[in-house]
Structure formats: C-alpha cells, structure tokens
Structure 1
C-alpha cells in the first residue's frame, strides 16, 4: 500500500526493533523492552486473526505506525470490532498526512474482516490531536472509562 512518498505495510517480527525505536516518540519516558520480550508480545498479538501493526515508511525509514486488534464478538450477529492503539508519528515527520494514511489502512483492514466498528481512545486533550482523529473519520460518540495499573502519561 502506498500513497505519495509513504509506503504502508504490516509489521513482521523483523520490524520489532525499529518499531520499538518509533515508540520512543509515543511515550518517551517508557523503558524500552528487550527485543526478545517484544517479539514474544508481537507473536501473542497476532493470535487474534486480522490484528496487525501497520507501518508507514518513507525512503525505507519508519515514520508512522498504529496497531489494530480485531476482537471476536458475540453481539452484532457475531461481527468483530476493531481497536486501534499506539498511533505514533516520528516527530520529524508530523503534519504530512502520514497518520491519516496509516489510520485509513488500519480501518480498511478492519472492514475487510467485517468489523462493525473501529474504536480508539486518546488521553490527549490537545485540540490538534482531537481534530486529527476527527479528520481521520473518528467521532466522539461514546464516553470512555479505564482502570489503570500504571499512571496516566502527563
């Protein structure tokens, strides 16, 4: 998948070290896991059919990513739903439409697995971030709640 100078693909195990480096732009204060633990989590992640981590590259450099989890469901005539998490763009590549493109790729993948909806949460109160998700076609139509074992990012 590619549009303009961005090429989008699904991550493989060999992409995990690069992905961990990109995630430093998402939560800079998080400790980086070792590659073996991250690969084990990557393998577990893929046990949900349809789930994928989408990578966007420019000239071979990883600049954007998001994860889609396709969750089996007993309602909506057993149609699954999609959850998008870990949306991140390298700080040097923001404001170029790459985030919109990777979210479109994840959403289209969810539709191809017959998901009846795709959801994402953000802890950001920044108007720019909220407008970004609205431009990507997401609407604030629900109220989210969570219980956490680690503190909310500041």
Structure 2
C-alpha cells in the first residue's frame, strides 16, 4: 500500500466517487452517475464546510476508495465532539486488499487529531459483510437507527 495516497477530494474526483457509490445493489437504486450536477453542487457545499472531510484514496492517478468524515461538536457527553464516517466505498478491483482498513484507520486517526471522543458510523442492515468488517476494526453495534424521508 506504499503507492497509496489518502487526500482531500477535488471536483475532478467526483465522477469516480459517484461511480463507486453506484457500484453496489443499494447504490445502484439511489445514485445517478449520468447526471453529475447534484453531486457537484453537493461537493461545493462540502468543500466550503470545515467540518466535512470528503476523502479519496488514490493509487497512481486512479481514485480507488472514498469516505466522508463529518465532525460534529455537541453538548452531550460533556460537550464532546464526535465524528461520523459515511459513504465508505472501495473500487471493485481493490476490495479485499486492505484498503478499506486503511481508510477507516485514517478516519479514526483524523478524528482523534480533531479532538473527537467518539467515532460513529451506520451501515445498512443488509450489509452483513460490512458489519463484520467494522466489528473487526473495533466498532461495536450499539444503536438502532431510524430514517424519515423528506
């Protein structure tokens, strides 16, 4: 993994990121890689927010992984800051290579460096392989999540 760079995403990375978001059964139902307009708008909002870290893993000149790290200050837990890891995707050619572990370790280290006392993530209940992966990295299932579509 020495030829791997983890860096902040730039606008030119958006097509590769969206491609990875769409490259699984769940993503294929909710992503639209043929129209990048909403993704580029969202990228601009993310880029302008210092609490949002959209990251890519790059090997050579190819984006092979991504995640978003959101840092959230709060009052609970004695005014603790926490982070949320979202949108973790690894290019199909790289799955099983250790890249996912490397990205999550980056996010945990960055969270610690940013003063977070807790790192959270959610994973769709159907992603049982992902659940085992996160548990292997020390994450514990602790909550039941709810969503309300608007």
Same fold (TM over 0.5): yes
Indicate if the aligned counterparts of 1:68 and 1:85 stay in contact, CA closer than 8 A. Answer: yes
Indicate if the aligned counterparts of 2:46 and 2:54 stay in contact, CA closer than 8 A. Answer: no
| 1:46–1:80 distance in 2 versus 1, CA, 3 Å | farther
Count of paired positions: 147
Q: What are structure 1's unaligned runs of at least 5 residues?
A: 150-154
* Cα RMSD after superposing both structures: 2.1
Q: Distance in 2 between matches of 1:148 and 1:136?
A: 30
Q: Give the secondary structure class of the aligned counterpart of 2:117.
A: coil
Indicate if the aligned counterparts of 2:52 and 2:69 stay in contact, CA closer than 8 A. Answer: yes
Q: TM-score, normalised by structure 2?
A: 0.84
Matches within 5 A, 1:36-115: 36-115=37-116
Instruction: Give the structure with the higher percent helix.
Output: 2
What's the CA shift for 1:47? 4.4
Matches within 5 A, 1:114-153: 114-149=115-150
Q: Give the secondary structure class of the aligned counterpart of 1:111.
A: helix
| 1:126–1:14 distance in 2 versus 1, CA, 3 Å | closer
What's the CA shift for 1:5? 3.4
Q: Which residue of 2 aligns with 1:17?
A: 15
Q: TM-score, normalised by structure 1?
A: 0.82
What's the CA shift for 1:126? 4.3
Indicate if the aligned counterparts of 1:10 and 1:54 stay in contact, CA closer than 8 A. Answer: yes
Moved over 4 A (4+): none
Q: What are structure 2's unaligned runs of at least 5 residues?
A: none
Indicate if the aligned counterparts of 1:50 and 1:113 stay in contact, CA closer than 8 A. Answer: no
